[in-house]
Chains A and B, each alone.
Chain A
């Protein structure tokens, strides 16, 4: 696996608060990776660190084999669209494409123009007069037409309506297929990511909770329901992600590579959303216990 993004012990502190701590993660090239977690989990911080907008407090981060934003070549390799999808209010759509062409050596003007036309943006319109969704699309056009190796998108669909979300995701998939682009996009809505992501990183309480291929994550997690019992009595290869108890019943989400043999359990599949929620609501979240970090294979 060649990693397009590699973080080791990465941490970022704002004054006294750690926005991200001890983040060790590898994101493989050629995938669309979803970065998911609740608000304030450190998603934006991780993406800003990867884009070189922030400098890490501890640890290292490597993107496309280099230090983020370290010189023009490195900048050309990484596209980043920030959460607020900033554009110059006084500049027209055409001006923005011109900006992209002047400031990027690998600018794909045909792609940019075709995309703007397809989106129905008027080139003469000032960006300040575009709707939130249109502004997001313009910012994304700049990110894609730059033809980066890695595209980082921070909450890219937050400003879009459901139809535009679907179109945008489809569009992104096409761009990925066409240009061998790696994408890391963040969202706190799992449904947004489910359709497009084949790789997932769950971030919660400023730590990476789990990371891996979506298919393998789904295959390696089970929901167990059975008579009430202590989760500590499970076989050693079964790791409890969450446990819930009623007077008579116990429900567990466990991670295991092997099959479940115990006949007292009713075993059911875990959906992506449930899996993410299970990791987000882990009771030891935020304490000093080491979270599950390793990539499942």
Chain B
């Protein structure tokens, strides 16, 4: 059965692994130069990196490859795994040999699934190695510059949606999930093109939903309630003239992932904004805070206004990585169980 699986799968495997080797060569050629750049001047590294168009292009290519690989695996390896047999009727040939459907499916999913894990793992390893100087430079900074360029924004935290999903062990979780999603969609929908469409739609939805609503809560976020002072004030926005201002504060936790930054009113409940008179607390642009502002914030503090920050400290990075990977593996197991049930009932 392993022989047959490999015989059917080898062309697709060769195609993806060839692309992987091509990317590896590109990263190996450009990687050492980046390391050298970091070693010769860590402080100015990010600016010098941003100035180089080629390096930026390679960085984005690697990022795109890691993010797109699971979808490619789900669509081209997962969805057709069963539907190709159904489309050509060969399931009636292979299911009438002396091998049960369950074993047939288990072997196919194991062989192709392992190839998917290996591909995603190697891809993540390669790009993580290549971008290590960038990560080191980004982690070293306490807070991002207020007007960061696009690249720096992406890099500003390893927790940013794109960066988190493209590094560490999470890509393996995504790949396994996308693959089993594809196979299951095939078993449910039974035709290749609709199965591919369904796989893509669900996977993209998951890629959007996870960083927005699920990842922040995989581990209960840390909470910090603090007074608003001129020292920790980070953002002060007035939506309209004389309208109640919104504020955000900075916390003393380098590299942390800020999930929410809300103002608590005198009653201790979340209020959307400060009172309208607090517009006077606004710091004059580009100038140090004055005594009047300090008094203004002290008055807010006396009234009971506080800022509640929920966040994931930087040292939880790997906890979150493993938690998210585990979540996808559990989802993959559930999908596989559904898939086995469907295949046993298929005609």
Contact = CB atoms under 8 A, between A and B. Distances in A.
Interface string B19-62: 00000000000000000000000000000000000000000000
Contacts of B93: 82, 86-88, 139, 142
Interface in B73-120: 88-101, 103
Given A86-B89, A91-B7, A98-B3, A103 B94 contact: yes
A69 interface: yes
Given A80-B92, A87-B90, A95-B7, A146 B347 contact: no
A76 interface: yes
Nearest to A78: B96
A82 B86 CA distance: 13
A86 B98 CA distance: 17
Interface stretch (A48-56, A112-120, A239-247): A48-56
Contact of A79 (B90, B96, B99, B345): B96
A99 B97 contact: yes
Interface string A86-104: 1111110001001110111
B92 A104 contact: no
Contact of B345 (A55, A88, A142): A55
A72 interface: yes
B4 interface: yes
Nearest to A96: B93
Contacts of B96: 51, 53, 75, 78-80, 82, 143
A126 to B, nearest CB: 12
B208 interface: no
A85 to B, nearest CB: 9
Contacts of A48: 347
B38 to A, nearest CB: 49
B4 A105 contact: no
A260 B3 CA distance: 65
Interface residues of B, number: 22
B99 A75 contact: yes
Contacts, number: 74
Contacts of A75: 96-100
A235 B94 CA distance: 54
B225 interface: no
Contacts of A99: 4, 94, 97
Contacts of B88: 86, 88-89
A106 interface: yes
A194 B47 CA distance: 88
A88 B8 contact: yes
Given A82-B92, A84-B89, A88-B93, A103 B98 contact: yes
A71 interface: yes
A82 B89 contact: yes
A51 B98 CA distance: 12
B295 interface: no
Contacts of A82: 89, 92-93, 96
Interface string A44-66: 00001001011100000000000
B95 A53 contact: yes
A123 B347 CA distance: 31
Contacts of A53: 92, 95-96, 347
A99 B6 CA distance: 12
A141 B7 CA distance: 20
Contact of B347 (A54, A79, A105, A139): A54
Interface string A149-188: 0000000000000000000000000000000000000000
Contacts of A98: 3
A295 B1 CA distance: 42
Given A53-B92, A75-B98, A102 B4 contact: yes
Contacts of B94: 99, 103
A98 B6 CA distance: 13
Nearest to B98: A76
Nearest to A95: B7
A11 to B, nearest CB: 15
**Residue from the set B89, B98, B101, B345 with the largest chain A CB neighbour count within 10 Å:** B98
26 contacts: A48-B347, A51-B96, A53-B95, A72-B99, A72-B103, A75-B96, A75-B97, A75-B98, A75-B99, A78-B96, A79-B96, A82-B93, A82-B96, A84-B89, A86-B89, A86-B91, A86-B92, A87-B90, A88-B8, A91-B7, A100-B97, A102-B3, A103-B97, A103-B99, A142-B93, A146-B98
Given A48-B347, A90-B8, A91-B7, 9 more contacts: A53-B347, A72-B98, A86-B88, A86-B92, A88-B8, A99-B94, A99-B97, A104-B97, A104-B98
Interface of A: 48, 51, 53-55, 69, 71-73, 75-76, 78-80, 82, 84, 86-91, 95, 98-100, 102-106, 139, 142-143, 146
Among all A-B residue pairs, the 10 with the closest Cβ atoms: A103-B97, A86-B89, A76-B98, A82-B92, A80-B96, A104-B98, A86-B93, A86-B90, A75-B98, A84-B89
